[in-house]
Amino acid sequence: MRNMSLMLGRIGGIPIYVHWTFSLLIAYVVYIGVINQMGYTGVVWLLALTGAVFICVLLHELGHSMAARKYGIETEDISLLPIGGLARLEKMPRKPTQELVIAIMGPMVNVAIGLVLFVVFIVGFGTDFNLDLLEIFEAPFTGKKFVFLLLIMNISLVVFNMIPAFPMDGGRVFRALLSYKMDYVKATQIASLVGRALAIGMVAFGFFEREMTMMLIGTFVFFGANVENKVVSMEGALEGYKVKDLLRKRYTIFRTHETVRDALSMLYKGLERNFLIMDEHNSLEGIITSKLLLANKKTGLDTPLADIMNTDIAALDTNSELKEVYALMRQKQQPIVPIFEEGLLMGVIDYQTVSDFIQQKK
């Protein structure tokens, strides 16, 4: 379990997670089947259709991942949520063509699936497209209807994902196209603004037409567009600065055998919030964050830091770009990054320092 998710397995080395709320979706689908009096076969059929849609969503995410891999960008993981899928790439490329290709390869997968289903339909069932096929809750629950509805779902996935607003793929495509003409921060601002305008339109339309789903999607798009703009403008503020410009050379080190109590007493002095942990041979073993310390405050003051420290940590070089550190901190949820130069520990960069720096630059 990670973030309340269950790992299904790996595809091409990428861990695939499914969120626990998925079980609610399954229960909901069964419930819908039952109240629509679909019968046993109907409910199983509906569940199979839901499963098939999510396989298409998974393939869509894999489309992004495989495109990213072509540019040397790996995918941390793919999560399936009842509202859709999410591929977490280790970073987003700043080159317009790369972003464009990565963003568009998801929907392209659904276009391809759609074409295959279309051919399957024609070959298997002829050209008899009639509106009865859209009656998802009405018998007969045939293979013909299954293929047809899955085809419609794939078309909807393409249309929905190509809405030109963050966090949809269409938003990324739009930004990539804009960034051929202008700088990335400006392109993001415009794409974000258009996205938010669209979102407000969706909410308004949903309100007047009493379309709850439309209102929800609009709200989701609005906040997504906002977040993207914030993150990119913050990265813009860090543009041109190196790690060494904000390097903190004085920092407290704890040893692996020292306890939560020791680290908490330092935390309460209020000067540092996150600490490096070394063994007796001065080799860096992990980090401990204020969050972790406070979480262990009640249960184990005498717990050695070695037992709770975060050992999956990233380090950078003094010559790295500051925005690279910032991206890494957010990506890995790692608020302190050790900085090395030719194998020697030179200091640390703290999240607080970076965000103060961004604040005073505004």
How long, in residues, is the chain? 362
Cβ of residue 278: shortest distance to Zn ion, in angstroms?
42
Cβ of residue 105: shortest distance to Zn ion, in angstroms?
8
- Residue, CB closest to Zn ion: 106
C-beta closer to Zn ion: residue 157 or 348:
157
Per rule CB under 5 A, count of chain residues that contact Zn ion? 2
Check residue 106 for interaction with Zn ion (CB under 5 A).
yes
Stretch that binds Zn ion, among 51-59, 100-108, 207-215, 251-259 (CB under 5 A): 100-108
Cβ of residue 60: shortest distance to Zn ion, in angstroms?
6
Check residue 42 for interaction with Zn ion (CB under 5 A).
no
C-beta closer to Zn ion: residue 78 or 232:
78
Stretch that binds Zn ion, among 105-113, 251-259, 266-274, 304-312 (CB under 5 A): 105-113
C-beta closer to Zn ion: residue 106 or 335:
106
Write the single-letter amino acid at 49.
L
Stretch that binds Zn ion, among 103-111, 128-136, 197-205, 307-315 (CB under 5 A): 103-111
Contact 310, 289 (CB under 8 A): yes
C-beta closer to Zn ion: residue 99 or 350:
99
**Per-residue x/- mask for Zn ion, residues 128 to 167, rule CB under 5 A?**
----------------------------------------
C-beta closer to Zn ion: residue 166 or 254:
166
C-beta closer to Zn ion: residue 84 or 304:
84
Check residue 171 for interaction with Zn ion (CB under 5 A).
no
Stretch that binds Zn ion, among 98-106, 144-152, 294-302, 305-313 (CB under 5 A): 98-106
Stretch that binds Zn ion, among 90-98, 99-107, 204-212, 266-274 (CB under 5 A): 99-107
Cβ of residue 64: shortest distance to Zn ion, in angstroms?
6
Check residue 169 for interaction with Zn ion (CB under 5 A).
yes
Check residue 224 for interaction with Zn ion (CB under 5 A).
no
Check residue 63 for interaction with Zn ion (CB under 5 A).
no
Cβ of residue 81: shortest distance to Zn ion, in angstroms?
13
Q: Can you name the residues that pair with 87 across neighbouring β-strands?
A: 78
Cβ of residue 199: shortest distance to Zn ion, in angstroms?
18
Comparing CA positions, the residue from 60, 34, 57, 58 lying closest to residue 47 is: 34
- Three-class SS of the chain: CECCEEEEEEECCEEEEEECCHHHHHHHHHHHHHHCCCHHHHHHHHHHHHHHHHHHHHHHHHHHHHHHHHCCCCEEEEEEECCEEEEEECCCCCCHHHHHHHHHHHHHHHHHHHHHHHHHHHHHHCCCCCHHHHCCCCCCCCHHHHHHHHHHHHHHHHHHHCCCCCCCHHHHHHHHHHCCCCCHHHHHHHHHHHHHHHHHHHHHHHHHCCCHHHHHHHHHHHHHHHHHHHHHHHHHHCCCCEHHHCCECCCCEEECCCEHHHHHHHHHCCCCCCEEEECCCCCEEEEECHHHHHHCCCCCCCCEHHHHCECCCCCEECCCEHHHHHHHHHHHCCCEEEEEECCEEEEEEEHHHHHHHHHHHC
Cβ of residue 56: shortest distance to Zn ion, in angstroms?
12
Comparing CA positions, the residue from 302, 304, 298 lying closest to residue 279 is: 304
C-beta closer to Zn ion: residue 69 or 242:
69
Check residue 99 for interaction with Zn ion (CB under 5 A).
no
Contact 321, 328 (CB under 8 A): no
Q: Which residues bind Zn ion (CB under 5 A)?
A: 106, 169
